[in-house]
Amino acid sequence: MAGHQEWSLALRNLPELPVSAVLPDVAAALAETGLAVLSAPPGAGKTTLVPLTLLDAPWRGDEGRILLLEPRRLAARAAAARMASLLGETVGATIGTRMRLDSRISAETRIEVVTEGVFARMILDDPELKGVAAVLFDEFHERSLDADLGLALALDCRAALRPDLRILVMSATLDVAGVAALLDHPPVIESHGRSFPVEIIHQDRRPDERIEDAVTRAIVSALQKLEGSILAFLPGQAEILRVAERLEGRVDPAILIAPLYGALGQSEQDAAIRPARDGRRKVVLATSIAETSITIDGVRIVIDCGLQRLPVFEASTGITRLETVRVSRASADQRAGRAGRTEPGVAIRLWHPGQTAALPPFTPPEILASDLSRLVLDLAEWGVNDATTLAFLDPPPSAHWAEARALLQRIGALDGTGRMTQRGRAMRALALPPRLAAMAAGAAEAGYGLAACRLAVLLTEQGLGGSDIDLDERLARWRNERGQRAQAASALAERMARQIKSSARRDGEAPGAGVLLLDAFPDRIALARGKIGAFVMANGRGAELHETERLARAPMLVIADLTGKAAGQRVLSAAAISRADIEAYRPELITTGEEVAFDRQAKAVRARRVVRIGAAVLEEVPLPRPRGPAVAAALAEGLRDVGLAELPFSKEAMHLRERLDFLFRTLGEPWPDMSEAALLARLEDWFVPFQGEATSLDSIRPGSLSEGLQVLIPADLQRRLGELAPTHFEAPTGQRHPIHYDGEEPTLSIRVQELYGLTRHPTIGGGRRPLLLELLSPAHRPIQTTRDLPGFWAGSWKEVRAEMRGRYPRHPWPDDPAAALPTTLVKPRGS
């Protein structure tokens, strides 16, 4: 009770910050409607003052807890420490934290600062959120997948189970209208905040200048010309370390260089955001982790390279790669605002001012570009198979959802209907991505679950055990580490092993990381190919290691993490494995079979006996000349690669194809489409059944192609082919002349004398299409083209007749050709 009185007294003396003006509005909205949206700029104080103010809310009662959700552990620790200091307490009393490797909660705790991923697990494990009075989503504009899931589940919980649950969405930059609509239009409260003026300076980076060189140059210049500490934004850890290296010897040794990125340990992260001692200047080199949620005292200069690194999931490969992209306008504004949190500042942007307008308005939400397998598994636990039944600001992309569901079915987490299996429940109990959870569950069944859980924790905690690509090496280093983070990670692995009821009796005999990874990444078993460091994976994709890496000379790997696009993926973490290991632990992954395939170079089908792991070939032996239906199918696949131009179409077959093409263009379906794309799509209908003997493109019988094309004509139209698209035109003289269908329109080339007496223009296609007449002289040279023969007789015939009479006097050139007799003869001599 004394503790309660102490913090109640402290609440009356909270600092006056910009958000203070709207705190009564926030409290009233939550009291009256239970839902609210708060938009407040960075530095307004919403993260610390809003939760503290709500401690006194009557609806909370004495025991109700307030959950404050933060996107990152760094922000969660900083927020908890700040609130606890305002109450004159330490973290773990009234203010507590709940994170993956560091939780400080006691019976006194009334405000829990939790990371978004932890909250998602909390509500899935306890859908009623017993004892929770309010959930506050801080920095929601970052739109992490966990935040979107957490809000959807919290709204569902409020609608179905807990109408008294208060929900507040807070953000610095936010699509307020979209979020308000999602929450059914609750009160929207805006705090204008109080920021100091920030001068924007542009220093356009040269196209050939590396990011780290441009940032280093800007930092050195700013230290010489401006006062205060610097916060420099870079895309990732690699660029941060390179800038730190370049600054050595170029700046005053008294200036503290402080990296800040996700893989750093807690003590290094906390050191980066602490004020510099004794008025020393500090240069913080940070990723987007420093955009919001935390204040770094003393910073009045921001240097923004304008880039960030975002995960992009490729559903076709099941691989998430990191892509360096331009920041959004909202992020650029957030970064610049860090310079004006405590005093007037300067933001130096390393791009041309005209490029700002071309930046996207907001950073794309994670749900649109992420692996959704964990989301699908979590929603299956919630009893939801269709994400559209929940309130997501952006619904998950259908392709990503389908790929995630297929993966979960392959690893045994879901059944064929999408419901969670017993193994899936064991996997979901672990705070791990589904692939790693499957690895742990499979290893537990074999008696070495602790080893798998240790590997899973290593893969989900950046920097644990170092940064070596070789996972066996990182595991060995971790075992020798004695730091707080290493011990917390070991304790987490042990808790996971207990959760899946894994006996530790065989962990000393557990296989290496490569074998353990087989249950998680069977599609990423990789075989060496060609040059050192080049591999092909079981999924058919290539992957590369720098030739100086120890694993570059391994004959076989299992790859846990990659980056880069499909054409040139770079291995980030892997472990060596042997064929004997796979045969001992997962023999079903190795298959042997006889295969026939098209050899593009030889333009023929080859047969071979192949031992493979997925698309990666372990060994192959050529077989004698292939036979059977598979050969024709392989030829068809080859044709799709090389195109129909390689087929030996006869003149008859080409003419048939041209006639059918004319009918399709003129009359449409059911006449068959004769375009190359359409024919390639229907090879199984007209090509494969007629290639019983051919084993190469050169051995295809031309007549088989004509027979095949005939099959495409519906039976009831077969007899009409000659009527609608005749091969020849019979002239009034009785002579038959071929009709050409190889141009834009059917064409008849004929000597003009053979058409005398004809008063109607020749047509085909059931009278729908006039033939293009190419009228020839007696010497078979073109003299006129027409689509209107009667009009030609009545019009330009006079000029043609005058010219032709002089050139061919022995041929008849009547005044009225429509009334003359057709002929193929010349006039008798002397006539």
Count of residues in the chain = 831
Question: Are residues 256 and 236 both part of a single domain?
Answer: yes
pLDDT at 508: 55
Closest CA to 361 of 191, 143, 533, 82: 143
**Can you name the residues that pair with 558 across neighbouring β-strands?**
525, 575
Q: How confident is the prediction for the chain on average, in pLDDT?
A: 88
In this structure, the strands spanning 542-544 and 569-576 are: parallel
pLDDT at 831: 47
Give the pLDDT mean for 729-740. Answer: 92
Question: Are residues 184 and 217 both part of a single domain?
Answer: no
CA distance 535 to 544: 6
Question: Are residues 668 and 582 both part of a single domain?
Answer: no
Question: Are residues 175 and 203 both part of a single domain?
Answer: no
Question: Quick check: 678 and 672 in contact, CB under 8 A?
Answer: yes
Q: What percent of the chain has pLDDT over 70?
A: 95
CA distance 507 to 320: 31
Last residue in a domain, options 144, 170, 190: 190
Question: Are residues 714 and 599 both part of a single domain?
Answer: yes
pLDDT at 768: 84
Q: The tokens of 273 are what?
A: 């955001």
Last residue in a domain, options 588, 608, 624: 588
Neighbours of 337 (CB within 10 A): 23
- Each residue of 555-592: b (16+ CB within 10 Å) or e? ebbbbbbbbbeeeebbbbbbbbbeeebbeebbeebeee
Q: Is residue 411 part of a domain?
A: no
Give the pLDDT mean for 808-818. Answer: 91
pLDDT at 505: 47
Name the pLDDT band for 567 (thresholds 50, 70, 90).
low
Question: Quick check: 577 and 470 in contact, CB under 8 A?
Answer: no
Closest CA to 122 of 139, 138, 107, 103: 103
Task: Give the DSSP H or E segment for 326.
Answer: strand 319-326
pLDDT at 63: 86
Neighbours of 736 (CB within 10 A): 11
pLDDT at 89: 92
Name the pLDDT band for 806 (thresholds 50, 70, 90).
confident
pLDDT at 171: 84
Q: Is residue 388 part of a domain?
A: no
pLDDT at 743: 85
Cα 806–809–810 angle (5° rounding)? 165
Q: Residues 344-384: pLDDT tens digits?
A: 999 999 999 989 989 988 888 999 988 899 999 999 989 88
Cα 217–219–224 angle (5° rounding)? 100
Q: Residues 586-639: pLDDT tens digits?
A: 999 999 988 888 888 888 898 889 999 998 999 989 888 787 788 999 999 999
Asked if pLDDT for residue 827 goes beyond 70, the answer is: no
Higher per-residue pLDDT: 665 or 627: 665
CA distance 425 to 370: 22
Question: Are residues 707 and 800 both part of a single domain?
Answer: no
Question: Are residues 696 and 792 both part of a single domain?
Answer: no
Asked if pLDDT for residue 829 goes beyond 50, the answer is: no
Q: Is residue 62 part of a domain?
A: yes
Question: Are residues 664 and 771 both part of a single domain?
Answer: no
pLDDT at 75: 86
Q: Is residue 408 part of a domain?
A: no
CA distance 768 to 119: 71
**253: which residues sit within 8 A by CB, 6+ positions away?**
none
- Of 266-280, 545-559, 677-691, minimum mean pLDDT range: 266-280
CA distance 679 to 501: 58
Task: Give the DSSP H or E segment for 545.
Answer: none
**Can you name the residues that pair with 272 across neighbouring β-strands?**
none
Task: Give the DSSP H or E segment for 164.
Answer: none
Please return the burial class of 254, using the count of CB atoms within 10 Å of its CB with bins 0-12, 13-18 and 19+.
exposed
Q: Is residue 186 part of a domain?
A: yes
Q: Where are the beta strands (DSSP E) in 227-292?
A: 229-233, 256-260, 282-286
Q: Is residue 828 part of a domain?
A: no
Phi-psi region of 364 (alpha: psi -120 to 50; beta: other; left: phi over 0): beta
Closest CA to 773 of 763, 787, 783: 787
Q: The tokens of 552 are what?
A: 């570059």
pLDDT at 11: 67
State the residue range of the domain holding 124: 2-190
Question: Are residues 469 and 571 both part of a single domain?
Answer: yes
Q: What percent of the chain has pLDDT over 90?
A: 53
Give the pLDDT mean for 543-572. Answer: 87
Give the pLDDT mean for 675-694. Answer: 91
Q: Residues 51-88: pLDDT tens digits?
A: 999 998 999 988 899 999 998 888 898 899 999 999 99
Q: What is the pTM of this model?
A: 0.70
Q: Residues 12-48: pLDDT tens digits?
A: 678 888 889 999 999 999 999 999 999 888 778 899 9
Q: Contacts from 579-587 at CB under 8 Å and sequence distance 24+?
A: 579/618, 581/511, 581/512, 581/514, 581/515, 582/518, 582/525, 582/613, 585/511, 585/515, 585/518, 586/518, 586/519, 586/522
Positive or negative torsion for Cα 397, 399, 404, 406? positive
CA distance 263 to 266: 9
Q: Residues 188-226: pLDDT tens digits?
A: 999 876 678 899 999 988 888 999 999 999 999 999 999
Asked if pLDDT for residue 565 goes beyond 50, the answer is: yes
Name the pLDDT band for 464 (thresholds 50, 70, 90).
confident
Last residue in a domain, options 166, 190, 214: 190
Distance set, CA 453 to CA 254, 390, 442, 448 (Å): 43, 32, 11, 9
- Of 1-10, 342-351, 375-384, 774-783, minimum mean pLDDT range: 1-10
pLDDT at 830: 47
pLDDT at 452: 93
**Per mean pLDDT, which of 129-138, 334-343, 567-576, 812-821 is the most reliable?**
129-138
Question: Are residues 135 and 230 both part of a single domain?
Answer: no
Domain count, the chain: 5
CA distance 556 to 607: 26
Q: Is residue 354 part of a domain?
A: yes
Question: Are residues 173 and 37 both part of a single domain?
Answer: yes
Name the pLDDT band for 488 (thresholds 50, 70, 90).
confident
**461: which residues sit within 8 A by CB, 6+ positions away?**
101, 485, 489
Q: Is residue 172 part of a domain?
A: yes
Question: Are residues 754 and 631 both part of a single domain?
Answer: no
Closest CA to 231 of 276, 286, 293: 286
Which CATH number goes with the domain that contains 88?
A: 3.40.50.300
Q: Residues 258-300: pLDDT tens digits?
A: 888 877 777 777 777 787 777 789 999 988 877 766 777 788 8
Q: Residues 506-523: pLDDT tens digits?
A: 545 789 999 999 999 999
